[in-house]
Structure 1
Amino acid sequence: MKFSRETKESFTVLTNEEIEQLDFTSTQYEPWGISYINSHSLKQTYKNVKIAIMDSGVDSTHRDLEGVYISHYNAIDSTNDAIDRLGHGTAMAGIITANDNGKGITGISSNVEILSIKVLDDKGKGDLSSFVSGIEWAIKQDVDVINMSFGIKRDDPLLKGAVEKAIDKGIIIIAAAGNNPGMSTQFPAAYENVISVSAIDHLENPYPYVSLGKIDYSAPGVNILTLQPNNEYRVFNGTSFATAHVTGVVANFLSSSEYVKDEKIVEHIIKDLNSISKDLGESGYDPIYGNGSLIFDKHS
């Protein structure tokens, strides 16, 4: 069941109270963000894409992730489990690659392998050493994309060094701008060659709590229906969820075209993202929407 038609005014959004009345075991729902991006327009595929989700872990037993290859690494404590008790990382995985299997919800890309890197604890807290360790592990695994739906308020040379090392290896990093109104884009999103993502609602209004500054793109991030651990579903708001939408779009590009994996790959990806960006706000680039929102086969 699709939650949208062709115009932005027609997108239907749901609340957590409303989804309690839905039967996810026998019916498939397409969240409005997936419909907005219209990711199904890109069908040709060459390969699977390796995506590192640096977050709170991913519940790989969720029925909507069945068949998705998921490996786990706990960057906080490598001797401990990487179970997602917070649910944030599982939500990212749902947006990126929930199964198109006739039940539950659909994600953006079906051609991914997930490497779940636990850098946030069960309360959503993390520290710099875990972030750096997570990036270094992702580099060793030769991932294609790192999704970082979190950030820190201040620049740090250790984080910057790890990010630059990953970029030099041809890894695309996509990060949340942050949910801190009146404050600047958080790190690593603020770094050069990191794709920074802001959030919009179904009417293409900006999320009111977003950080401003270095914004590259906007994506659905308000009333986002996605996965939760233990075969649950929930609606969320924030730039974290917008970031996962952009990661899914990038995965579709990488799986459908041949790119040289080197330090210049992000330039080529940005060029392709710009080709499907819909200008929002002031004409051209602006610090609220960046280069606009991402839509395959742009609709009105």
Structure 2
Amino acid sequence: MSTEEISFVVLSEHGDPLIAHVLLRTRNGSERSPRQERFSDEEGRVSFPVPEGHEVDEIIVGATVPGFWVMRIENAEPFDRLRLSSLPMIRKPGWWLRCMNVDTEDDDRGKHIKIGVVDADFQQSAGIEHIKQTTGPTGLAIGKEGTWGHGEAVCRILADREPMAAELLSVAPGAEVVFADASNGKGGVSGFRAAIAIKQLVSQGVHLLNLSWGHTREDVHVAAALQTASEMGVLVVAAAGNEPGEERVRYPARDIHCVAAGALGLKKWGKKGTLVKYYATAALGRKGFAGRVPQVGTVYSWSECTAGGIEVAAPGIGILVQRGGEVSYALSGTSYASPMVVGVLAIALGRDREYLGMGGTSARTQHARETLKRLSQDVGMERERQGIGVPRLPKCNV
């Protein structure tokens, strides 16, 4: 398609206009242009200029309101309307919980374990009221009323206690969770603030730490905090990163004191035309990216994941979270694989009397590492894509 402009209306399945975040990339032969970014207006309409000689390479559309899949269109022929598919109603535990053998009949799963989350953009709301908050290094209160952010998404995956979420969506709702803000004020995480937050949480007696963020460069302050955490009995799990062109997982995931988590998807998950379904197609066509989990089916390594140095792989593609008692968002990225690992470890360690009797020393950290190693099962992917495997609890009653 070659034109001076592409314009269309974004609608729900029922034909209602939607305000949506839209990304457009064009190409001229084999050369791909940078993505253009727009928001559709209140009538759902959005327009983009298309340079002469270019054709549409891909369009990615996500509604700004909850309840819809993110859609992806490739090599588009001219069209004037795009209907976004609604997220599914879920009546059985999510595939990510079944993949890890999480027994959702155990309402207290994760009990006795205290988890620290260092992130940005967290706001307490229904289902995660129990999550405690520290104050940031500036002493300011955390969270802005009405916001939805990365830190909240991570915490919902980890320990949402809203009844539907606890039964069908979240990993370890019985765990005690403390959130520490490390926002840089620009939607990301400050390394300096993260280092302070890590030390705060260690001093508060957490057993496990989740870091669902990463930077390209090492940070001496974070490195020192991670060493302290390890020496004080705290195992840290971090997101590998969402940069497939990089040769090494991001920092802090590549720190010697962290476990780097890569992301998996499920072949049969996601509606036709969604970004999640595209991820499956893209990965399953590549050698070594596919594996199989008993009672779940074919899984794949996310092709957008930074792969060099992955230590463990966990579900992270098309993960559903709730807000207000309704399935609201389908999240994808290594950010969401990391709390899966932490949650499963919390369940296992919360039942481990030896571990619970250990003091805050490096021996306890090593015990947690060994537990993760025992839980992790080879699912048939290349080592680079799965590390030691997928953590799976020994019994499944779901």
| TM norm. shorter chain > 0.5 | yes
Asked whether the 8 Å contact 1:41–1:297 carries over to 2, the reply is no
Secondary structure of 1:250's partner?
helix
> 3-state DSSP class of the match of 1:39?
coil
Q: Give 1:288's aligned amino acid.
A: R
Check whether the contact 1:217–1:290 (CA below 8 A) recurs between aligned residues.
yes
SS class of match (1:40): coil
Q: Which is further off, 264-273 or 227-236?
A: 227-236
What's 1:188 paired with? Answer: 252
Query: What is the aligned partner in structure 2 of residue 291 from structure 1?
Result: 388
Residue identity (%): 22
Aligned pair 1:59/2:59, yes or no?
A: no
Matched, 1:159 2:254: no
User: 1:297, CA displacement in angstroms?
Assistant: 3.8
Separation in structure 2 between the aligned mates of residue 46 and residue 79 of structure 1, nearest angstrom: 30
Task: Please name the residue that 1:92 is paired with.
Answer: 154
- Find the residue that maps to 2:253 and give its secondary structure: coil
- 1:40-55 mapped onto 2 (5 Å cutoff): 40=103, 47-55=111-119
Bigger shift: 248-257 or 86-95?
86-95
Paired residues of 1:86 and 1:122 also in contact (CA < 8 A): no
Partner of 1:30: 93
Comparing 219-228 with 141-150, greater Cα deviation is found at 219-228
Q: Retained in 2: the 8 A contact 1:111–1:251?
A: no
Name the structure where strand makes up a greater proportion of residues: 2
Q: Could you list the runs of 5+ residues in structure 2 that have no partner in the other structure?
A: 1-67, 71-83, 267-297
Distance in 2, Cα, partners of 1:160 & 1:101: 38
Q: Measured at CA, do residues 101 and 222 of structure 1 come closer, stay the same or move farther in structure 2, by a change above 3 Å?
A: same
The answer to whether 1:201 aligns with 2:265 is yes
In angstroms, what is the RMSD of aligned CA positions?
2.9
TM norm structure 2? 0.63
The answer on 1:234 being equivalent to 2:297 is no
SS of the counterpart of 1:114? strand
Matches for 1:67-146 after TM superposition, within 5 Å: 69-75=130-136, 77-83=138-144, 85-99=147-161, 101-102=163-164, 105-120=168-183, 123-146=186-209
Cα displacement (A) at 1:228: 5.1
Over residues 164-197 of structure 1, what are the superposed CA-to-partner deviations in whole Å (9 max), with x where a residue is unaligned?
0011110111100111112111111101131110
SS in 1 for 2:193: helix
- C-alpha distance in structure 2 between counterparts of 1:57 and 1:113, whole Å: 19
The answer to whether the Cα contact below 8 Å between 1:52 and 1:114 also exists between their aligned partners in 2 is yes
Q: In structure 1, how many angstroms separate the alpha carbons of the residues matched to 2:251 and 2:91?
A: 36
TM-score, normalising length: structure 1: 0.81
Q: Does the 8 A contact of 2:110 with 2:348 survive in 1?
A: no
Tell me the CA shift for residue 102 of structure 1. 4.3
Supply the AA of the counterpart residue of 1:75.
Answer: G
Residues of 2 paired with 1:42 and 1:266: CA distance?
A: 29
Q: Are the counterparts in 1 of residues 109 and 175 from structure 2 also a CA contact under 8 Å?
A: no
Q: What pairs up with 1:259-270 in 2 under 5 angstroms?
A: 259=355, 260=358, 261-270=360-369
Give the secondary structure class of the aligned counterpart of 2:386: coil
Distance (whole Å) between structure 1 residues aligned to residue 124 and residue 164 of structure 2:
19
Q: How many residues align?
A: 277
Larger Rg: 2
- Letter aligned with residue 253 of structure 2: A
When residues 236 and 133 of structure 1 are mapped into structure 2, their CA distance, relative to the original with a 3 A threshold, is same
Structure 2 contact 233–365 (Cα < 8 Å) conserved: yes
1:15 aligns to 2:69 (yes or no): yes
- CA shift, 1:281, in A, is 4.1
| CA-CA distance at 1:79 after TM superposition | 2.1
